[in-house]
Amino acid sequence: MIIAQRLRTENRAEYLLYMWQVEDIVRLYGADIDRICQEYLSRFKVDENETAAMRQWYADICNMMHSEGRMEGGHLQVNETVLDGLSDLHRRLLAAPQFHAYRAHYEQVLPYIVELRAKHAGKHEGENDLNSELRPLFELLYGVMMLRMQQKPISDETARAARETADFLAILSQLWVKDRNAELEI
pLDDT in tens, 119-132: 877 665 545 555 68
The percent of residues above 70 in pLDDT, for the chain, comes to: 94
Tell me which DSSP letter residue 150 carries: T
pLDDT tens digits for 6-20? 788 889 999 999 999
Q: At 183, is the pLDDT very low, low, confident or very high (cuts 50, 70, 90)?
A: very high
Q: Alpha helix (H) ranges present in the chain?
A: 2-10, 12-28, 33-35, 48-67, 77-95, 100-119, 134-149, 156-180
CA 91/CA 75 separation, integer angstroms: 22
Beta carbons within 8 Å of 135's beta carbon, 6+ residues apart: 83, 124
